[in-house]
C-alpha cells in the first residue's frame, strides 16, 4: 500500500510539473508568433536600425500620449507592446509596436525622438 501511495504521489506531481511546463511553452510560442508578425510590419529602414529581430513582448495600456494609434478606439486599452532594441537607442529610443492579439493587427507605434 505504501508503494502505491508513493507511485500515485509521483504521478500527480509529475502531471502538475508537466502542465506548468506546457503553459510556459505555449506562452513562449505565442510571444514568438507575435514578434514574427510585428517584425514583418516594420519598414526596411526600421529593420536596418535593429540590433536583432528578437522583440520583447509585454501587455501594456496604450494611449495616444505614448503612441501614434491607427485606431483611436484603442486609447486606454490593454494590448501587446513589442519592443525592438535599436543600434541608436540612446538617440532615438527603441522601436515599440502596439499589437492587438485578437485581431492580429498592429494598432500603433510608440513615439521616438
Q: What does the pLDDT read at residue 43? A: 95
pLDDT digits (tens, 9 = 90+) for 32-63: 899 999 999 999 999 999 999 899 999 999 99
- The predicted pLDDT at position 61 comes to 96
Rounded Cα distance between 68 and 95, Å, is: 12
Q: E strands, 37-104, where?
A: 50-62, 67-69, 77-86, 95-100
**62-99 pLDDT tens trace:** 999 999 999 999 999 999 999 999 998 788 899 999 99
Residue 10, pLDDT score: 57
Rounded to two decimals, the pTM is: 0.73
What does the pLDDT read at residue 3? 63
Amino acid at each position: 500500500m505504501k508503494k502505491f501511495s508513493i507511485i500515485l504521489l509521483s504521478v500527480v506531481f509529475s502531471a502538475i510539473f508537466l502542465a506548468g511546463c506546457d503553459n510556459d511553452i505555449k506562452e513562449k510560442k505565442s510571444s514568438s508568433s507575435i514578434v514574427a508578425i510585428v517584425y514583418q510590419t516594420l519598414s526596411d529602414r526600421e529593420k536596418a536600425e535593429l540590433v536583432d529581430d528578437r522583440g520583447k513582448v509585454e501587455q501594456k495600456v496604450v494611449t495616444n500620449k505614448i503612441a501614434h494609434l491607427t485606431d483611436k478606439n484603442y486609447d486606454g486599452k490593454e494590448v501587446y507592446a513589442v519592443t525592438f532594441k535599436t543600434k541608436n537607442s540612446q538617440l532615438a529610443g527603441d522601436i515599440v509596436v502596439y499589437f492587438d492579439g485578437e485581431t492580429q493587427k498592429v494598432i500603433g507605434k510608440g513615439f521616438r525622438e
